[in-house]
Amino acid sequence: MQLQEILYSQGFGTRRVCAGLVQQGWVQLYGDDAAAPPVLCTDAAHEVVPEGLRLRVQGVDWPYHAKAYVMLHKPAGTECSQKPSAYPSIYTLLPAPLRQRPCKGALQGVQAVGRLDQDTTGLLLLSDDGQFIHRLSSPKKHVPKVYRVQLKHAVTAAQVQQLLAGVVLDDDPRPVRAAACEMLGPNAIDLTLTEGKYHQVKRMLAAVGNRVEGLHRWRMGALGLDATLAPGQWRWLTPADLALLGSV
C-alpha cells in the first residue's frame, strides 16, 4: 500500500493533504526494531506493508489500524453528538485522525456505539466499523450494559423486585426489565440492561418512585471500563478486548 494511501486510511486528511505531509517531511516510519528511531520517508508513493506498521506523523506516534475500535471514559458535561446543543461534543476529546477516518468516501471518522446522556459518565465505545456498531447497539442483540446508579432515596427490596419484574415507561405499553439489579448500599445499585431506550435508567428508577442522582456505565458485554483511563481519556481496544466483545 502506498504511504499516502495509508495516511489517508488513518484519517490524516484528504489524499492531497496526505501526499503533502509525506513530501514535506512530516512522516517517519518505524522499522522492525522497536528500539530503533523512526526513519524519514518523503516518497508519498513508497510501498509499505500496513499490518503492524507504526508511523510518526508531525511528531506523534500512530499505530496503523485497519479499523478503529476505541474506548472513551466519557466525562460528565459532554454530549454524544457531532452537533451538540448545550455541552461540548465527546468527539472533541479524540485526536483529529480518529475524527477524520474515511468511511465510504467521506471523512466522517469514528461513531459512538449508542449514546449516553450529557451527565452520564463511563464506558463509551467508538468505531468506524458499521457492523461492529450495529452488533453492539442493536436492541435485538441484547448486549448487557451495566450501570452504577446513585439514587436520591434509599433503594428498597420492593423497588429491586419491580425493576427485575418489569416497569412500564410512558412511550411503550410493553414493560422493560432489568436483566440484573444488585444493591450495593443504601443509595446505590448496579443495574444491567439489555436494551437502550432513551433515558432508560432514569425513567425506570422514576417509575419505581426513586430518582437517579448519578449514572456511570462501567461494563458492556464482557468488557469493563479500563480503570486507568481518567475521565476524558481514550485508548485503542486490544485484540483481547475485542475478543471479550465478540463473546457477547
Active site amino acids: 117
For residue 150, state whether it binds ligand URA (rule: CB under 6 A).
no
Amino acid at 173: P
Our CB check for ligand URA shows the closer of 19 and 146 to be 146
CB of 97 to ligand URA, least distance (A): 27
Query: Considering only residues 202, 206, 219, 242, which one is a binding residue for ligand URA as defined by CB under 6 A?
Result: 202
Query: Considering only residues 44, 176, 215, 245, which one is a binding residue for ligand URA as defined by CB under 6 A?
Result: 215
Q: Which of 213, 211, 215, 207 is nearest to 116 (CA)?
A: 215
Choose the stretch contacting ligand URA; rule: CB under 6 A; options: 14-22, 59-67, 133-141, 200-208. 200-208
Cα 175 to Cα 204: distance, rounded to the nearest angstrom: 10
Spatial CB neighbours of 49, under 8 Å, sequence gap ≥ 6: 1
Number of residues this chain uses to bind ligand URA (CB under 6 A):
8
For residue 116, state whether it binds ligand URA (rule: CB under 6 A).
yes
The number of residues making up the chain comes to 248
Query: Considering only residues 153, 199, 211, 235, which one is a binding residue for ligand URA as defined by CB under 6 A?
Result: 199
For residue 5, state whether it binds ligand URA (rule: CB under 6 A).
no
CB of 89 to ligand URA, least distance (A): 15
Our CB check for ligand URA shows the closer of 9 and 120 to be 120
Q: Are the C-beta atoms of 180 and 191 separated by less than 8 Å?
A: yes
Q: Which of 229, 247, 228, 231 is nearest to 239 (CA)?
A: 247
For residue 192, state whether it binds ligand URA (rule: CB under 6 A).
no
For residue 201, state whether it binds ligand URA (rule: CB under 6 A).
yes
For residue 70, state whether it binds ligand URA (rule: CB under 6 A).
no
Our CB check for ligand URA shows the closer of 135 and 202 to be 202
For residue 120, state whether it binds ligand URA (rule: CB under 6 A).
yes
Our CB check for ligand URA shows the closer of 8 and 147 to be 147
For residue 200, state whether it binds ligand URA (rule: CB under 6 A).
yes
Work out the number of other CB atoms within 10 angstroms of the CB of residue 77. 12
CB of 193 to ligand URA, least distance (A): 7
Cell numbers standing for residue 24 = 514535506
- Return the ∠ at Cα 172 (arms to 171 and 173), rounded to 5°: 130
Our CB check for ligand URA shows the closer of 117 and 213 to be 117
DSSP 19-85: HHHHHTT-EEE--S-TTSPPEE---TT-B---TT-EEEETTEEEE--SS-EEEEEEPSS-BSSSS-S
- Return the ∠ at Cα 207 (arms to 216 and 114), rounded to 5°: 40
Site for ligand URA, rule CB under 6 A: 116-117, 120, 199-202, 215
